[in-house]
Amino acid sequence: MSAWVLAIGGFAMLVVLHEAGHFFAAKAVGMRVERFFLFFPPKLVSVKRGETEYGIGAIPLGGFVKITGMTPEEEIPEEVEHRAYYRQPVWKRIVVIGAGPLVNIVLALVIFFILAASFGLDGEPTNEIGRVADDLPAAEALQSGDQLVAVDGKDISGLRGEQLTDRVRGLIGTHECAGNPADGCEAKTPATLTIVRDGERQTVEVTPVYDVPTAEEQEAGLEPAMRIGFGYAGEREPQSAAAAAEFSVDRAWFITTRTAEVFSRILDAEQRKEITGVVGATEVTRQSFEFDTRQAIFVLGVISLSLGLINLLPFLPLDGGHIFWSIVEKVRGRRPSLQTMERASFVGFALVLMLFVIGLNNDIGRITGEGFNVR
């Protein structure tokens, strides 16, 4: 099956599940649901079952559930007025609006748990090539899945873990630049790598370069060195239920804090480069399906969590905006004026539009430039 079909299908599934959260919660508390759509209008196809119209729109940027009375001034037939959104207690409205993001967050936790418990987590490095850097010499000679068995005629096929990484690093480091090393300088001599690809033994030559990591990478422990640019695949070890649960929560918390950091520094040009839109999310997922199904599922989990978190931002028309104003109403004892909410909606819409434009611009730059580097 095409990676594009899987990627678009996976993204559509996340949207449907998000909207299904709203839909089933609304039905559960007695609200009237008029429409349940994947994507936005104009309508492509629809079918009506009972009081609800189910359909698919032409603009693939999300989806929506239309509940009767979602605006305070909406004219509502008398016979269904008691089931309208704004005729319900605040707690029911919060349950219905919060159900969508909650589904995405819970789904992400479940995905991370299943990956750790069933597929396993990477253990100590093996001699199988994992990630290959697009911007370093290895990209021209190595592929993910190659088995590295020798460097400059020195056998390393039986090594694992630190023994392997230290030995290969030492052998690559013997190839030095002419004069004092500077970022990007090439070694005087190429390294000879013996690999096994598709069952066949091959010899390739790769000229190492002196690589100076970014400040962030150096803080993480990566030092300047001669490199050819690849990582090692680890032996995947299925985790116990407790360990898988711990991994799931830790991974979700890391993504949450990273997302918060990006948005808190959105005025920083470097942080804005981290934002990805629908196009980028779909492209990363597609590339991941081509590279590794496990990674693709993990990416879907990350996207699901991000959808849930972003939708909880306290700005209309996002779900978090509806929750915020419901809480304001409960605290004040009366509903905010329609004018106040319309102004809030304008600010929220401007923010959402800004995020969309930044994400789309970044996605186009990655697609036409250096790519998404999913490996």
Tell me the Cα Rg of the chain.
Answer: 26
Asked if residues 230 and 132 have their Cβ atoms less than 8 Å apart, the reply is yes
The per-residue pLDDT for 94 is 96
The per-residue pLDDT for 266 is 60
CB proximity list for 181: less than 8 A, separation 6 or greater: 210, 224, 226
The per-residue pLDDT for 276 is 58
Tokens 């808190």: give the residue. 264
Report which of residues 215 and 313 the model is more confident about: 313
Tell me which of 26-35, 79-88, 111-120, 250-259 is least confident: 250-259
**Is the predicted pLDDT of residue 225 greater than 70, yes or no?**
yes
Query: Using one digit for the tens of pLDDT, what is the confidence trace for 165-210?
Result: 899 999 999 998 988 888 888 999 999 999 999 889 999 999 999 9
CB proximity list for 96: less than 8 A, separation 6 or greater: 22, 25, 26, 29, 31, 67, 85
Query: Using one digit for the tens of pLDDT, what is the confidence trace for 265-313?
Result: 666 666 556 555 444 455 555 555 455 677 778 878 888 888 898 889 8
Confidence class of residue 130 from pLDDT cuts 50, 70 and 90?
A: confident
Tokens 């970022």: give the residue. 183
Report which of residues 111 and 278 the model is more confident about: 111
Tell me which of 95-99, 148-152, 315-319, 339-343 is least confident: 339-343
**Is the predicted pLDDT of residue 364 greater than 70, yes or no?**
no
CB proximity list for 274: less than 8 A, separation 6 or greater: 262
The per-residue pLDDT for 373 is 46
**Which CATH entry fits the domain spanning 123-237: 2.30.42.10, 2.40.50.180, 2.130.10.10, 2.60.40.420?**
2.30.42.10
Give the angle subtended at the CA of 156 by the CAs of 154 and 161, to the nearest 5°.
Answer: 145
Asked if residues 163 and 152 have their Cβ atoms less than 8 Å apart, the reply is no
Confidence class of residue 358 from pLDDT cuts 50, 70 and 90?
A: low
Quote the pTM value: 0.70
Confidence class of residue 144 from pLDDT cuts 50, 70 and 90?
A: confident
**Is the predicted pLDDT of residue 264 greater than 70, yes or no?**
no
Q: Active-site residue numbers? A: 19
Tell me which of 126-130, 131-135, 247-251 is least confident: 131-135
Mean pLDDT on 324-349: 83
Question: What is the overall mean pLDDT for the chain?
Answer: 82
Amino acid identity of 343? R
**Is the predicted pLDDT of residue 151 greater than 80, yes or no?**
yes
Q: Domain segments of the chain: what residues? A: 3-118+273-368, 123-237
Spatial distance between the Cα atoms of 297 and 11, rounded to a whole number of angstroms: 11
Mean pLDDT on 205-224: 79
Mean pLDDT on 41-50: 92
Report which of residues 261 and 172 the model is more confident about: 172
Mean pLDDT on 138-154: 90
The per-residue pLDDT for 213 is 78
Confidence class of residue 318 from pLDDT cuts 50, 70 and 90?
A: confident
